[in-house]
Amino acid sequence: MTFKNKYISAATFFFMSITFSATALTAEYSVIIGFHQQPGQPEQELVRRAGGTVDRVYRLIPALVARLPEQAMAELREHPLVAYVEEDQVVTTIEPPYIAMIQKPFSIESFTEDSEYQDAWGVQHIGSKVAHDKGITGKEIKVAVIDTGIDYNHEDLDANYRGGYDFIYDDDDPMDDSWNSHGTHIAGIIGAEANGTGVVGVAPEVSLYALKALDGGGFGTLGTIIASIQWAVENDMDIINLSLAGIDSQILQAACDAAYAAGVLIIAAAGNTFGSAAAFPGAYDSVIAVTGTDPADQRGFYTPIDPAIELAAPGLGIRSTAQYNGYSEQSGTSQSAAHVTGTAALVMAAGVGDVNSDGAIDNRDVRQQLQTTAIDLGEPGRDEEYGFGLVDVSEATTFPSVTSISLVREATWSDSLEITTLEDAFYQITLENDSLDAVLLLVVENNRFRTDLIAVHIFNSPGGDHPQQVSFDLDASGTALKLIFVPFGSIGAFADITILN
């Protein structure tokens, strides 16, 4: 379907809905019905007996979309099979604030990097090029952009576009037909190609998927958003970007919670609420809410103030892709969320580890990595204006090095010693014992023993009950420390040593 035809179709649908709303308002509502279990034939038959029509049954959450007579809504809410009934509310793109003048962070004359970075100040400002120069570009990371669609023919997006779905027109052609290229603009910030043309995205080799849940006017419903989230989960997306806003909804929260539990990282705009509370779904615990900053790292006048804000990213005067191979400058937390989505893709591509030490590597580790490496802004620590601070690609894609040593009691002392050198960094050392009685640690600096750092860790002694894992820190900043580990115990006994910096 062409841009023109889709736009005409959207306009026709809009005016038809106005024409018939006067009769439909009193006769019938589009609702989302949540059940206590996955709705099957009994639940669908319940809706039909109430005079309703089932339009869509979800698999991600126990709910369905239906059209119901007004009087049936109250009756169904009281039924024991039903958990809740919500109207299928309107959801919109987050309207960009009107800004008369943009203060650029640098001049073209003073900036010597590629023109793509010159024209994408936010991408450069958060340190994306540092990751790109190391070959970290988001390759093979799958990002679902739930928005107005993507102009997948754009010369800066076509190589990274992988597919998607149109939940407005129920087809597989999620072309962006919006008046301001909203979805295409968001996609460009996330993943515009590094091809010497136009701008570059935060993750220039990411895989982009367009889930068109909003029409050309920027309007959709809870039903189309939830269907898109379900598609993202079922098609193994790594990240969902939601640059949109709606009201607090039990069903939307359930969908976000289910997607997050399934391993998808969800990033959303905090909303352009001008100092009021953050918008939904960004305000949910399962979603990262992103606020906007200017080139001086000050929050935009349009941004929310809310404890739900988790991260900050550039949102003022952001140049990105627009329809018909065009480019436009837009502002708002929608743009900020896209910067964080691109950063998350780089963190995944760089090979994030078990950051939270829960034994698994998943979306929670990426989230914590983004939090702990952010540049603190505003009040120390997390605050209601900037969250944890400005997202930092360079730090977020730099992971601690891990050295693993197996310390074994051999037949001779010389063969039993393990010697390693720590240089100019802060280290965390963990001894996990298997069968040794004790480990002696000697520390040498400038060919002299550091008597203050000598330690004996006892694991087995008569009548003793000792922990079999010991962790401690060593600060080798500005120096070099030689560590000598000496094992005590029967021949063949061992312990594992992990050194992290």
Could you identify the residue written with the tokens 């480990």?
439
- What is the model's pLDDT at position 82? 97
Q: What span, in angstroms and rounded, lies between the C-alpha atoms of 317 and 360?
A: 39
Give the pLDDT band of residue 1 (cuts 50, 70, 90): very low
User: Distance of alpha carbon 58 from its chain centroid, rounded?
Assistant: 23
Angle (CA) 171 30 54, round 5°: 65
d(CA 170, CA 193): 29
* Beta-bridge mates of residue 66: 31, 54
Residue 421 burial class via C-beta count within 10 angstroms: exposed 0-12, middle 13-18, buried 19 and up: exposed
Q: Let me know if the fold of 20-88 is the same as that of 93-396.
A: no
Average pLDDT value for residue range 467-477: 94
* List 132, 154, 182, 339, catalytic entry: 182
Mean pLDDT of 177-206: 97
Taking the C-alpha atoms of residue 303 and residue 282, their distance in angstroms, rounded to an integer, is 13
Helices (H), 236-294: 250-261
Region of poorest pLDDT, from 24-33, 388-397, 420-429: 24-33
36 is catalytic: no
How many whole angstroms separate alpha carbon 267 and alpha carbon 241?
5
Give yes or no for residue 446 having a pLDDT over 90: yes
pLDDT of 178 higher than 60: yes
Are 346 and 396 in contact by the 8 Å Cβ rule? The answer is yes
Residue 200 has pLDDT above 80, yes or no: yes
Our answer to whether residue 147 is catalytic in this structure is yes
Q: Which CATH architecture has domain 93-396?
A: 3-Layer(aba) Sandwich (3.40)
pLDDT band at residue 465, thresholds of 50, 70 and 90?
Answer: confident
| C-alpha 62, offset from chain centre | 25
- Percent of the residues in the chain that have a pLDDT greater than 70, as a whole number: 91
The pLDDT value given to residue 16 = 32
In one letter, which amino acid is 338? A
Tokens of 470: 């010991």
For residue 357, what pLDDT is reported? 86
Identify the architecture of domain 20-88 in CATH.
2-Layer Sandwich (3.30)
pLDDT for the residue 2: 46
Residue type, 242: L
498: three-class secondary structure by DSSP: strand
**Range scoring the smallest mean pLDDT among 183-197, 411-425, 451-465:** 451-465
pLDDT score at 75: 93
What number of residues does the chain have? 501
Among 88, 119, 147, 166, the one annotated catalytic: 147
pLDDT value, residue 98: 60
28-37, 260-269, 400-409: range with lowest mean pLDDT: 400-409
- To the query of whether residue 182 is one of the catalytic residues in this protein, the response is yes
pTM above 0.85, yes or no: no
Which of 501 and 125 is assigned the larger pLDDT? 125
Lowest mean pLDDT among 93-102, 159-168, 180-189: 93-102
Look up residue 138 and give its two tokens.
Answer: 């988001």
Report pLDDT digits (tens) over 347-378: 999 999 999 989 999 999 999 999 999 999 99
What is the reported pLDDT for 21? 36
Cβ-contact 229, 221 below 8 angstroms:
no
What value does the mean pLDDT take over residues 221-247?
A: 97
Cα end-to-end span (Å), the chain: 54
Q: Please check the confidence at residue 113 and state whether its pLDDT lies above 90.
A: no
The structure tokens listed for 124 are: 């450069």
| Active-site option among 334, 365, 416, 457 | 334
- CA dist 160 and 266 (Å) reads 20
CA distance 194 to 108: 19
Cα angle 308-312-314, degrees, rounded to a multiple of 5: 145
Tell whether domain 402-500 is in CATH 2.60.120.380.
yes
Q: What is the chain's mean pLDDT, rounded?
A: 91
Mean pLDDT, range 250-271, rounded to an integer: 98
Give tens-digit pLDDT for 22-40.
444 446 899 999 999 999 9
The arithmetic mean of pLDDT across residues 221-242, rounded, is 98
Q: What is the mean pLDDT of residues 318-327?
A: 96
In angstroms, what is the C-alpha Rg of the chain?
Answer: 27
How do the domains of the chain map onto residue ranges?
Answer: 20-88, 93-396, 402-500
Contacts of 101 (CB under 8 A, 6+ apart): none
Please list the alpha-helical segments (H only) found in 242-332. Answer: 250-261
H-helix or E-strand spanning residue 241? strand 239-242
